[in-house]
Amino acid sequence: MDIGLQVQTIPSVNITSLKEAPIHISSKIQPHGILLVLAEPDLKILQISNNTLDVFGISPENMVQKRLEDLVDPYQLERIKSGLSEQNLDFINPTKIWIRKKGDDYSVFDAIFHRNSEGFLILELEPAISQENIPFLSFYHLARASINRLESTKNLREFCQIIVQEVQKVTDFDRVMLYKFDDDGHGSVIAEEKIAELEPYLGLHYPESDIPKPARKLFIENSIRLIPNANFEPVEIFPVNNPVTDRPVDLTKSSLRSAANCHVEYLHNMGVGASLTISLIKDQKLWGLIACHHQTPKYVSYELRKACEFLGRVIFSEISAREETEDYDYRMNLTYIQTLLVEYMSQEDNFIDGLVKNQPNLLDLTSAKGAAVCFGGNYTLIGETPKEEDLNFLVEWLKNNVDDEVFYTDSLPSLYPDAISFKNVASGLLAIPISQRNYVLWFRPEVIQTVNWGGDPNKAFEVNQSQGNLRLCPRKSFELWKETVRLTSLPWRFVEIKAALELRKAIVNIVLRQADELAQLAQDLERSNAELKKFAYVASHDLQEPLNQVANYVQLLEMRYEAQLDEDAKEFINYAVEGVSLMQTLIDDVLAYSKVDTQAIAFQATEVDTALERALSNLRKRISETGTTITHDSLPTVMADGTQLMQLFLNLVGNAIKFRSNEPPQIHIGAERLEDEWLFSVRDNGIGIDPQFSDRIFIIFQRLHTRDEYPGTGMGLAICKKIIECHRGRIWVESQLNQGATFYFTIPAGGRERERRNGRNTQNNLFS
Ligand code: BLA
């Protein structure tokens, strides 16, 4: 939620630096105690608060550079020194100290020691209300009683209510609240116990700027904060700068540290006379606060504060546990759905089917109303989603703006304004990138909500300028202010985000496995290609030799024993020689077929005209014998392999002559430019082909006629088809029996690379 502020009057101000001014380094304290900055080991007083004259009757100037032993008697000093030898000073806090005022009068203080980040020993003296230390066991009883009540509560709300009741009972503050932070820093009162006269704050939200970042950060280190009198006059520390570091000391862990002006004003505006605040920390993060208000000043002893802190901690660990159990059932259900989805995915050829085809599906994993799987440029949609066109832009935006393994928002339009147009389906987005442009997306519709604020959050504070100083002033009115929140969806819960992340892992694994399988297929294909080549090589060399041997010996037989052979024997020998010769042609054709290699050809700009001329000159003899006339259109230059193109014409024109009718063959070679390819045709006036066979003729070793009718191996058109496929074109025939035939083939105008990009070969690399 974006809560603005009124800064129009002074636009150039750097609000952040005002909002986030450091508060832990201070030269002032609250006046109800005395603060000493000591150097160890001799406990020399480096600095002291400027209120010693009132309390001890000695001025601070007369105390700095003296030692602690000048203030306390040797017996006490011994006790203190032995306590200071401990690493953890909590054991000696608080220590009762008697300090002699002027004359014989003594004052009793609660002495609280800590070492600050700079290594100084800070001693804070607070007035002791009782002269006795409260034994630890009383903490325990306090906590025990509360916990007994808590154990019987049913839900988190009731539980929180008991916490505030117990703290109220122990401290007797007019109002005790449980304040919970949201992810964006704003917070709300989720439980409250108060005296009847006060207006309730329960359910109200407060903007992030009410408790700025430095204040929240401080609460992580120092979990308890008392302002016993909001009308206090701060006391300076003397000297202001530490003589060793030459700057004010770090008071992060001090309890007397003065409060920021802005906050003091805030307390006044709220009508608060005293406040006690206890931090609640979960997983090293500030989860919330127990905030206590009193209308009049109220002092709380160190021990009681510690007891409250202890109570807060013990009870809060129970809250955390409860929060987790409340999530437990839902979490278990999501885990179950996730297991099913992984199983469905592994059963399908395409994992996406596993995510959308069954019950439960993707939607159930995150309680979304719509989902999209964007994979390899395609979208699979389920439920209510934006249109594909909108998704294209959204995915582009995600790609440019999101690096993480998961992205989620309950207000997509505030980050990506174009989303306003589809707010009804996708005001909330949860997205997991699978790989670069591949995503799974879940959507939630807009849900219009009313939020009750403690005062108008758009006027949370003002920037004031007085005597050249800029300062922030908190709002005066905390009256109920209702906000209607639009363009947001129900928030994604942590368990849902976690489930999405788990699914991501599963999908990445499956996609990787499929990529592996593809690589395996490619490898197998390569191997079988290599085997075919090896076979062709063996066929051409090793088979030809014995074949020649057969032919030679049969012919030798005929020559040597001609006289003894009758006509039948001579005919048989002829058949044998013919068979050998046919086998030789077959071997040559298989070799030619296997050489049309799909991989290793470097295409060049090739004049089709030249390729055709070379083919025709090979056919010269048959052309003249058959009285064939050949005409052609003007032919282009294409990206191709010249030899293969020649071989193509050789086969097609050769066939046109071979399958001629009684007429002398007339063959025309046509060329026509289509949008991004050339369409070639070879038209004849031959015997034609029955259309039912027009596919079969391109299959290897398929023949429509007996070898006696028309000689040949039946490999010619299979070779043509392979050549054209290698050029990323298509080949087909159009014909009617006895009406001539036209063979068509295409060659991409931009060569085979361009055609591949245009999408004929759309198998994208999954991880590119
Ligand atoms: C501190 N503001 C706080 C604290 C609370 C709130 C609980 C911590 C208490 C403490 O340090 O004593 C706010 N108190 C609330 C809220 C409720 C409540 C929301 O009871 C609701 C019921 N505060 C402003 C503005 C500034 C600001 C405009 O509103 C200016 C920057 C500052 N708040 C501010 C600072 C502190 C603070 C600096 C830390 C005070 C300190 O420790 O010095």
Ligand 1 atom 9, closest CA: 277
Q: How far apart are CA 272 and CA 175, in angstroms?
A: 10
Give the residue among 461, 492, 512 at the shortest CA–CA distance from 13. 461
Cα 192 from Cα 208, distance rounded (Å): 20
Strand ranges inside 557-651, DSSP E: 604-607, 629-632, 637-640
Are 383 and 371 spatial neighbours (Cβ–Cβ below 8 Å)? yes
**149-156, long-range: CB < 8 A, 24+ apart:** 150/315, 150/318, 155/322, 155/326, 156/319, 156/322, 156/323, 156/326
211 Cα to the center of ligand 1, angstroms: 4
Question: What is the reported pLDDT for 58?
Answer: 87
Task: Using the predicted structure, report yes or no on whether residue 768 has a pLDDT greater than 70.
Answer: no
pTM score, two decimals?
A: 0.64
pLDDT tens-digit map of 130-161: 655 555 556 666 667 677 776 767 677 888 88
Query: Is the pLDDT score of 636 beyond 60?
Result: yes
Q: Which residue has the higher pLDDT, 440 or 736?
A: 440
Instruction: Please work out whether the CB of residue 470 comes within 6 Å of at least one atom of ligand 1.
Output: no
Ligand 1 near 210 CB (within 6 A): yes
- Residue holding tokens 């068979």? 579
pLDDT tens digits, one per residue of 645-662: 999 999 999 999 999 999
Ligand 1 atom closest to 225 (CA): 12
Pocket flag, ligand 1, residue 201 (CB < 6 Å): yes
Higher per-residue confidence, 532 vs 463: 463
> What mean pLDDT value characterizes the chain?
86
| pLDDT at residue number 29 | 96
CB atoms within 10 A of CB 586: 17
The residue whose CA is least distant from atom 32 of ligand 1 is: 263
209 lines ligand 1 (CB under 6 A): yes
Q: Is the pLDDT of residue 703 over 80?
A: no
What confidence tens digit (pLDDT) does each residue in 359-375 have?
A: 999 999 999 999 999 98
d(CA 258, CA 29): 4
215 lines ligand 1 (CB under 6 A): yes
211 lines ligand 1 (CB under 6 A): yes
| pLDDT-derived band at 597, boundaries 50, 70, 90 | low
* Tokens encoding 284: 């090293």
How many A from CA of 240 to the centre of ligand 1? 25
Q: Over 60: is that where the pLDDT of 502 sits? A: yes
Ligand 1 centre distance from Cα of residue 266 (Å): 7
